[in-house]
Amino acid sequence: MNNSQIVVGGVEKFSAVDFPGTLSAVVFMQGCPWKCPFCHNASIREILKETDFSWEKFVDFLRKRIGRLDAVTFSGGEPLVQDCLSDAIRDVKSLGFKIGLHTGGYRPEHLAKILPLVDWVGLDIKAPFDEAKYQKIIGVNHLAKVEQSLQHLLDWGGDFECRTTCDPRFLSVDDLWSIAQTLKQKGVKKYFLQKYRPVTSDKLTTDEACESLLSKVDLLQYLRDNFRDFEVRR
C-alpha cells in the first residue's frame, strides 16, 4: 500500500513503557492542533513535508524486527490528524505487530473508524471536564471531542487507559479530584497520573511542586480504591 503521504516526525526503535506490558517501536506522527504548555513534542505539531523520516524506511525497519518486537505504538503529535493513519496501521498489522495508539481524543469520528484495527489506546485527559479549564490547556474549545472519544472507547470495550500529566502550573489537587470522579462515573477502569517533566522553557517549576500534586494521601487512596489499574508514573 502506498503510504507516501504519511508524515513521520520521529521514531523510537524500542520502548517498554509506551504500550504497557508490551515491547513496541514508537512512531511519532506529525501534526497537532493543540498547544499544551507541557508538550515535549512541540517541534512536530506542524505538519512539515520535509522530514528526515519516511514511512517506507520505518516499515523496512519493522520487517527486520519481526519476532523481536511485539507492537508498534502510534504517537505524536496527534496521530488522528492524519487521514491515512488507517493505511499505516494496516501496513503494520500485515507484518504481525499489535497496534497501540496515543491520542488526546481529537477527531472522535476518526478514532471510531480505526478502533477495530487497534489493540490498545492511551487517552490523555488534560484537565477537568469543564470547557474553560480544558481550553486553558489545549488552546481551543475541544472538550466535546474528548468526551466523544472517551465514549467511543467505552463502547468499544477494548483495552484502554486514561492518563493525566500533572503540571502544577495548570492543575490543582481539586482538578485531579474532579477528573478522577468524572472518569469513575463514566466507567473508566484504568487511570494513571503522570509526573510533569518541565519543558525547556519552564525554568520556574520545582520538583517539589510537581511532587506535591502526586502525594495527596486521600486522593491516591481514592484512585486505588476506584480504578482497577492505577499508579503514579514518574
Using the rule CB under 6 A, is 18 a contact of ligand SF4? no
Q: Which is nearer to ligand SF4, 78 or 161 (CB)?
A: 78
Distance between CA atoms of 194 and 124, rounded to whole angstroms? Answer: 10
Using the rule CB under 6 A, is 108 a contact of ligand SF4? no
H helix or E strand, kind and range, residue 209: helix 207-212
Using the rule CB under 6 A, is 100 a contact of ligand SF4? no
Give the DSSP letter string of 19-46.
STTS-EEEEEE---S---TT-S-GGGSS
The DSSP secondary-structure symbol of 69 reads B
Strand duo 24-29 + 8-15: pairing? antiparallel
Of positions 10, 76, 105, 198, contacts ligand SF4 by CB under 6 A: 76
Nearest approach in angstroms of CB 199 to ligand SF4 is 10
Decide: residue 52, CB within 10 A, 0-12 exposed, 13-18 middle, 19+ buried: exposed
Nearest approach in angstroms of CB 165 to ligand SF4 is 8
Of positions 104, 108, 122, 168, contacts ligand SF4 by CB under 6 A: 104
Question: Of the candidates 129, 137, 183, 185, which has an alpha carbon nearest to the alpha carbon of residue 160?
Answer: 183
Of positions 23, 34, 169, 216, contacts ligand SF4 by CB under 6 A: 34
Distance between CA atoms of 196 and 164, rounded to whole angstroms? Answer: 9
Q: Which is nearer to ligand SF4, 126 or 152 (CB)?
A: 126
Nearest approach in angstroms of CB 139 to ligand SF4 is 8
Q: Which is nearer to ligand SF4, 69 or 118 (CB)?
A: 118
Using the rule CB under 6 A, is 114 a contact of ligand SF4? no
Binding site for ligand SF4 (CB under 6 A): 32, 34-36, 39, 41, 45, 76-78, 104
